[in-house]
Structure 1
Amino acid sequence: MKLALHWQILIALALAAVMGSYTGTDMTIGGITWLAIYGFIGTLFLNALKMIVVPLVMSAIITGIANIGQQGGFGRLGLKTLSYYVATSFIAIMIGLTLVNWIQPGVSDQPPPQIEVNQQVSAAVEGKSAGDVVEVFLRMIPTNIVNAAAEGQMLGLIFFSLLFGFFMTKISGAGRETLLGFWQGVFDVMMLITAWIMKFAPIGVFGLVAASVAKTGFDQFENLALFFMTVVLALLVHFAVVMPLILRYVGGVKNPWLHYQAMAPALLTAFSTSSSSSTLPVSMNFLENRAGVSNRVTSFVLPLGATVNMDGTALYECVAAIFIAQLFGVPLDFGTQLLIVIIALTTSIGVAGIPSASLVAISIILVAVGLPAEAIGLLLVVDRLLDMMRTTVNIFSDSVGAVVIAKSEGETDVLTRKEF
């Protein structure tokens, strides 16, 4: 029986901790240091992730927007749905941003994981000011899309992809079908390549974590525990405070607790599977049969939400990027943090439906703001449980959106039962 990927990664993490602490930075084999071997393995894995970012993000966004347009999703119902998704994702990111800046889980008396990388990072970020906010918006419209792709300017690529996908739906005939078929084919191929790369994730994780442990020992684990608590607290605030407030004051639901009861089986499914796609049929069933939302709303809002509405993922991306900056002692000014917010919001939409979406999205953010992508290896120590939690938040936000939109459409049977 083949072990599930998450168990393979956990085993790789344990082996990396043992090997990294045992070999340190000086032990050699055949004249080559173990640290160099770890670095080689980790770099190969990171390069593979970086390789797929541009075609994956572009094809995901273009096909997603085009498919919404083909279904007539830019009408009243589509506008309400997308507005809700953007608003709640933004709120989730701001909760994460506030807590990570307040708690500062990456700040400690310990030296940064890699001093030499830290110097490079400081040089890359140094000198930025609030005036760079203007630069952020200028970068949204690249002068050369090919050059933007080559330089990894994801904000410009995302903006171009959104425009391309939208206006692709405005042409008719064979041209539209050809373009949609091409980008859908690119997306399908990139999904297969991503799945293939993730088969090597345990090996890549081993290299990244072993290198980190070899250099720093276990000094950073205290920071990781605080990072874990920060993310959990932020997710809890969004799940248990923001969502019921939206149900009560936007959706007009007198007793928001009823919705938690109605969706409990779907939430448990999401937590156990860590998959929005796998939970989708369960969510639709309980949303219709227990919460009383019509099939018309459910069949539109939930599949779209499983693709583009990832509140927990967006929150996690933002907290993770700023945590890594704190860990390396790099101050992030308002302009840089705004850039992180924008990219976290757009990448949570653009790459949310792919396996290990957060891993790819965080690498995009780190590269965009000049932080070392190698630090992703540290996050993987606590990522599995956090993935289960943020998937639960993603699913619940989708269901709350369906309730709010159903109520706005005049449906009267939503959450009318007193108990479940």
Structure 2
Amino acid sequence: MKLHHQIFLAMVLGGIAGALTEESTRLFGLPLLPGYDLIGDLFINALKMVVVPLITTAIISGMVNVGDGDDLGRLGLKTVLFYLSTSLIAVLVGLVVVNLIAPGVIDGQPARNLLGLSADTDRALASIEGRGAGDFTEILRQLLPPNLFQAAAETQMLGLIVFSLFFGFFLRTLPGAPGEHLRQVVEGIYQVTMRITMVIIRFAPLGVFGLIAATVTRTGLDAVEPLALFFVTVLLALGIHMFGVMPLLIRLFAKRSPVRHLQAMAPALMTAFSSASSAATLPLSMDCVQKRSGVSKRTSSFVLPLGATVNMDGTALYECVAAIFIAQAYGMDLSLTTQFVIVLTALLTSIGVASIPAASLVAITVILGTIGLPAEAIGLILVTDRLLDMCRTAVNVWGDSVGAVILARSEGEENVLRTPMKELDTERA
């Protein structure tokens, strides 16, 4: 059975197991929920274990082979412009959909009193206490960490990416035997790390089962009912961006089949959905983009780590929809000026707070404060946050991979999405 079919089956079985399990359920005297957590945590920890060595060596190796400084500058500029453009498009899609459906208005009346605040509001506010727009300066500090090992331990990828870019840039100019030997060492570590990653990926179905089973056991589906219209609105907007906008960009700018790329990225997308973590999915994303979509290591090792850190299409879209939904529920007058402020703030916060804890809640709190609503208003959306987090993470990963494909084609790579999936599956078998 192909890997993405195994992962899909694991998701279905995990959902069934979670639906049949309560938090107190025991099997042979042992609680099931901690078992689900253990399986899922082991898988996520294994993926996170290889993130730092994989990303640093991939970037350094890619920098060595990227060409001259003009090539690097061109690729970097195109990457940043692409990510900013797609994030803005995602926010605008969310803006249009939430205005058309107006989930915060029920029978012509603001829905605040009908919905009520989640019981977890106080805990959520405590988790983001003291955070806000000031975190942007902390993000800038992370660009040059004073201690690389501490940055690696805390998975502060921005600093590691900057260091790896510098290291790779100067390594390629190092002459003689020392430079050649060090380049071979870096390439060797990268190849070994990829092999470890492939072993971890073999256990992806088991890890996905544990993650889904634990999530469904805790949240169930009944929790979605009071916020069903908001839930559907977010899913519809995410679906339009993922299955409408991004495939159109592949067809227009890469001139390749978006369906073929979706097939190639299926294992990574399912893992992103299950784990709700772009960073944890990054090793699998790089494997799918390089080996299944045919993007060179030179491009993917630069574009994907940067995208996993700063490109959050799904998060930006969700922030916009959530903020406007809350504003509608509070009966706030949403003038064009207010909506422009929401769009701009959602775009900036999706980049600025991407790598800090409780990122989406921080961003939404910043937006609410900007338009004059209390931070406690996030309690309206907490019930559905986990399930929607899984969905928007998959959109984030998809956006990064589409960027890699389009930018690879813009760099003249002809092998992108050329090999039929049947041939790849035959080779792997």
TM-score band (shorter)? 0.5 to 0.7
Picking from 98, 110, 115, the partner of 2:96 is: 98
**Partner amino acid, structure 2, of 1:263:** M
**Partner amino acid, structure 1, of 2:231:** F
Picking from 224, 241, 246, the partner of 1:243 is: 246
Residue of structure 1 equivalent to 2:370: 368
Residue of structure 1 equivalent to 2:146: 181
Structure 1 residues 274 and 189: alpha-carbon distance in aligned structure 2, compared to 1, 3 A threshold: closer
Fraction of identical pairs, as percent: 56
* Aligned pairs for 1:255-404 within 5 A: 255-404=257-406
Q: Secondary structure at the match of 1:414?
A: coil
* Aligned pairs for 1:69-108 within 5 A: 75-108=73-106
Count of residues paired in the alignment: 283
Q: 2:344, 2:281 → 1: CA distance?
A: 28
Cα RMSD, aligned residues only: 3.8
Q: 1:325, 1:79 → 2: CA distance?
A: 36
Q: Secondary structure at the match of 1:105?
A: coil
Report the Cα offset of residue 100 of structure 1.
0.4
Q: Secondary structure at the match of 1:250?
A: helix
Residue of structure 1 equivalent to 2:233: 230
Q: Is the 8 A contact 1:105 1:223 kept in 2?
A: no
Q: Is the 8 A contact 1:311 1:397 kept in 2?
A: yes
Structure 1 residues 111 and 84: alpha-carbon distance in aligned structure 2, compared to 1, 3 A threshold: closer
Q: Is the 8 A contact 1:96 1:234 kept in 2?
A: yes
Structure 1 residues 378 and 408: alpha-carbon distance in aligned structure 2, compared to 1, 3 A threshold: same
| Further displaced range: 257-266 or 373-382 | 373-382
Q: Is the 8 A contact 2:131 2:362 kept in 1?
A: no
**Partner amino acid, structure 1, of 2:146:** G
Q: 2:84, 2:77 → 1: CA distance?
A: 11
Q: Is the 8 A contact 1:235 1:390 kept in 2?
A: yes
**Partner amino acid, structure 2, of 1:104:** A
Structure 1 residues 343 and 101: alpha-carbon distance in aligned structure 2, compared to 1, 3 A threshold: same
Off by >2 Å, runs of 4+ in structure 1: 71-74, 109-115, 151-154, 179-191, 220-223, 353-356
Structure 1 residues 319 and 111: alpha-carbon distance in aligned structure 2, compared to 1, 3 A threshold: closer
Report the Cα offset of residue 235 of structure 1.
0.4
Report the Cα offset of residue 342 of structure 1.
0.9
Q: Secondary structure at the match of 1:75?
A: helix
| Further displaced range: 351-360 or 408-417 | 351-360
Q: Is the 8 A contact 2:311 2:396 kept in 1?
A: yes
Structure 1 residues 229 and 112: alpha-carbon distance in aligned structure 2, compared to 1, 3 A threshold: closer
Q: Secondary structure at the match of 1:305?
A: helix
Q: Secondary structure at the match of 1:242?
A: helix
Q: Secondary structure at the match of 2:340?
A: helix
Report the Cα offset of residue 355 of structure 1.
3.5
Q: 2:110, 2:316 → 1: CA distance?
A: 28
Q: 1:161, 1:380 → 2: CA distance?
A: 26
Q: Secondary structure at the match of 2:254?
A: coil
- Deviation readout 1:360-384 (Å, 9 max, x if unpaired): 1111111111112112122111111
Report the Cα offset of residue 419 of structure 1.
2.5
> Could you tell me the TM-score, scaled by structure 2's length?
0.58
Q: Is the 8 A contact 1:343 1:365 kept in 2?
A: yes
**Partner amino acid, structure 1, of 2:371:** V
Report the Cα offset of residue 299 of structure 1.
0.6
Report the Cα offset of residue 270 of structure 1.
0.5
Structure 1 residues 411 and 347: alpha-carbon distance in aligned structure 2, compared to 1, 3 A threshold: same
Q: 1:161, 1:338 → 2: CA distance?
A: 26
Q: 1:351, 1:406 → 2: CA distance?
A: 28
| Further displaced range: 106-115 or 399-408 | 106-115
Q: Is the 8 A contact 1:344 1:365 kept in 2?
A: yes
Report the Cα offset of residue 112 of structure 1.
5.2
**Partner amino acid, structure 2, of 1:410:** G
> Could you tell me the TM-score, scaled by structure 1's length?
0.60
**Partner amino acid, structure 2, of 1:243:** M
* Aligned pairs for 1:108-123 within 5 A: 108-109=106-107, 113=112
- Deviation readout 1:130-176 (Å, 9 max, x if unpaired): xxxxxxxxxxxxxxxxxxxxx9994x985x789x77xx99xxxxxxx
Report the Cα offset of residue 76 of structure 1.
1.0
- Deviation readout 1:193-240 (Å, 9 max, x if unpaired): xxxxxxxxxxxxxxxxxxxxxxxxx9x987621110000000000111
* Aligned pairs for 1:54-73 within 5 A: none
Report the Cα offset of residue 113 of structure 1.
3.3
Q: 2:112, 2:376 → 1: CA distance?
A: 10
- Deviation readout 1:291-316 (Å, 9 max, x if unpaired): 11000111111100000000000000
Residue of structure 1 equivalent to 2:255: 252
* Aligned pairs for 1:141-180 within 5 A: 154=133, 158=136, 180=145
Structure 1 residues 384 and 189: alpha-carbon distance in aligned structure 2, compared to 1, 3 A threshold: closer
Q: 1:187, 1:407 → 2: CA distance?
A: 32
**Partner amino acid, structure 2, of 1:181:** P
Consecutive unaligned residues of structure 1, counting only runs of 5 or more, are: 1-9, 16-66, 118-150, 170-178, 192-217
Q: 1:380, 1:187 → 2: CA distance?
A: 30
Report the Cα offset of residue 252 of structure 1.
1.7
Q: 1:240, 1:299 → 2: CA distance?
A: 25
Report the Cα offset of residue 356 of structure 1.
2.7
Q: 2:131, 2:352 → 1: CA distance?
A: 15
Q: 1:265, 1:96 → 2: CA distance?
A: 26
Q: Is the 8 A contact 2:145 2:151 kept in 1?
A: no
Q: 1:375, 1:301 → 2: CA distance?
A: 36
Q: Is the 8 A contact 2:135 2:353 kept in 1?
A: no
